[in-house]
C-alpha cells in the first residue's frame, strides 16, 4: 500500500513543480510590453490634457522620432501643436497623418481646423469637402460655418451655425462666432441677440460682452446692457462703447464714455487715457 500511495504523491509533486516553472524570457518581455503600452497610453492622455502644451510638443516629437509610423503619436503631436498655438507647424503633421491607412474623418476635420488657424482657407474647404456628409460633429459644422463666412455664403453659414449649436452642450463660443458673423454683415439686431444668448450660456465670456457692446454702438445705443460684469470689465466695455461712439461721429458722447471708463477702472486705464488725450489734442490743434 505504501508503494501505491507513493506514485500519486510523486505525480502531484511533478504537477506542482510544472505549475511553478519559471516563465520564459519571451513571456516576460510580452508582459512588460503590455504594461508599457498601458503606461504610455496614460502618459499620452496626460500630455494632451494636463501638461504644458510646449512640453507636450517636445514629448510627442521625441515619440514620433522613435516610432514615425505610429498614427496615434502623429495625432498627439498635431493636437499638442494646436494647443501650443503653433498651427503652421501642425499642418504638415496632419498632412502626414492623413497619408496613413488609419487616418479617420475626425483627423481630416482636425487638419481643416489647423489649416484655418494657419490661414489656408481654400485648402481647409477642400479638406472639409472630402469628409462624407454622414460624419456629423459639432467641430465639423463649426468649421463649415466659418468657411462659409469667409466665402460670404451667409445662408449656408447660418445653416451650419444652427446645426453646430444643436450638437453641443456648450454653445457659447459658437453663438459668439455666429453673432460676429451677423455683426460683419451689418445685421446688428440679430448679432446682439446671439451675443446675449452666448452670455446666458457662459457669463464669463468677455468676448461676447464686448461684441454685444459693439453691436449696440453700431446702432448708436450707448447704454451698457444689463450684464454680469466685474468693475474691470465694466471699464473695458465703456471704453469699447466710447470708441464706437467716436467712430459713429458722436465725439462728445465718446469722450464722456472714455472719462467714465477711466473713473470706473480700479487701476490706471492707460488705453482709455491715451484715447482721450488723442481726442483732446486733435481738437486743440
The answer to whether 198 touches 205, Cβ cutoff 8 Å, is yes
Percent of the chain that is helix, strand, coil (3-state, to 5): 75, 0, 25
Task: Write phi, then psi, for 104 (nearest 5 degrees).
Answer: -115, 170
Mean pLDDT value across the chain: 88
Give the 3-state secondary structure of residue 130.
coil
Grid cell of 82 as nine digits: 494646436
pLDDT, residue 285, reads 53
Backbone angles phi, psi at 120, to 5 degrees: -95, 80
Number of domains in the chain: 1
- In a domain? residue 113: yes
The tally of CA atoms less than 13 A away on the side-chain side of residue 4 is 1
Half-sphere exposure of residue 255: CA atoms within 13 angstroms, side-chain side = 11
CATH number at residue 95: 1.25.40.10
CA distance 257 to 244: 10
Contact predicate 248/274, CB 8 Å: no
Range of the domain at 103: 50-127
Exposed (0-12), middle (13-18) or buried (19+): which is 16, by Cβ within 10 Å?
A: exposed
DSSP state of 202: -
The answer to whether position 69 is within a domain reads: yes
Please give the pLDDT value at position 45.
Answer: 81
Instruction: Identify whether 89 is part of a domain.
Output: yes
Q: Which pLDDT tens digit goes with each residue over 137-195? A: 999 999 999 999 999 999 999 999 999 999 999 999 999 999 999 999 999 999 999 99
The answer to whether residue 282 is domain-embedded is no
Q: Return the exposure string of 115-146: e unless at least 16 CB atoms fall within 10 Å of the residue's CB, then b.
A: bbbbebbebbbebbeebeeeeeebbbbbbbbb
pLDDT at 284 (0 to 100): 56
Residue 11 pLDDT: 39
Low-confidence ranges of the chain (pLDDT < 50): 1-23, 28-38
Burial of 175 (0-12, 13-18, 19+ CB in 10 A): buried
Residue 38 falls within a domain, yes or no?
no
What pLDDT does 234 receive? 98
Query: CA-CA distance, 101 to 93, in Å (whole number)?
Result: 15
Cβ neighbour number for residue 174 with a 10 Å cutoff: 26
**Residue 171: inside a domain, yes or no?**
no
**Which residues have CB under 8 Å from 109's CB, separation 6+?**
128, 131, 135, 137, 139, 140, 143
Amino acid at each position: 500500500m505504501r508503494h501505491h500511495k507513493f506514485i500519486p504523491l510523486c505525480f502531484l509533486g511533478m504537477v506542482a513543480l510544472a505549475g511553478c516553472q519559471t516563465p520564459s524570457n519571451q513571456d516576460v518581455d510580452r508582459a512588460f510590453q503590455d504594461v508599457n503600452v498601458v503606461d504610455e497610453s496614460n502618459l499620452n492622455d496626460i500630455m494632451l490634457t494636463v501638461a504644458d502644451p510646449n512640453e507636450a510638443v517636445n514629448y510627442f516629437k521625441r515619440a514620433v522620432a522613435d516610432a514615425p509610423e505610429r498614427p496615434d503619436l502623429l495625432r498627439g503631436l498635431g493636437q499638442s501643436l494646436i494647443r501650443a498655438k503653433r498651427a503652421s507647424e501642425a499642418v504638415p503633421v496632419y498632412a502626414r497623418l492623413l497619408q496613413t491607412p488609419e487616418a479617420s474623418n475626425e483627423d481630416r476635420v482636425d487638419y481643416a481646423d489647423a489649416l484655418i488657424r494657419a490661414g489656408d482657407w481654400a485648402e481647409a474647404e477642400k479638406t472639409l469637402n472630402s469628409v462624407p456628409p454622414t460624419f456629423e460633429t459639432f467641430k465639423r459644422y463649426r468649421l463649415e460655418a466659418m468657411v462659409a463666412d469667409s466665402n460670404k455664403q451667409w445662408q449656408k453659414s447660418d445653416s451650419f451655425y444652427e446645426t453646430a449649436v444643436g450638437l453641443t452642450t456648450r454653445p457659447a463660443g459658437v453663438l459668439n462666432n455666429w453673432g460676429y458673423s451677423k455683426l460683419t454683415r451689418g445685421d446688428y439686431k440679430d448679432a446682439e441677440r446671439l451675443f446675449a444668448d452666448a452670455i446666458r450660456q457662459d457669463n464669463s465670456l468677455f468676448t461676447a460682452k464686448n461684441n454685444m457692446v459693439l453691436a449696440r454702438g453700431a446702432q448708436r445705443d450707448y447704454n451698457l446692457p444689463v450684464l454680469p460684469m466685474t468693475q474691470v470689465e465694466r471699464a473695458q466695455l465703456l471704453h469699447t462703447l466710447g470708441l464706437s461712439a467716436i467712430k459713429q461721429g458722436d465725439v462728445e458722447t465718446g469722450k464722456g464714455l472714455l472719462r467714465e471708463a477711466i473713473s470706473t477702472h480700479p487701476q490706471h486705464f492707460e488705453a482709455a487715457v491715451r484715447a482721450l488725450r488723442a481726442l483732446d489734442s486733435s481738437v486743440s490743434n
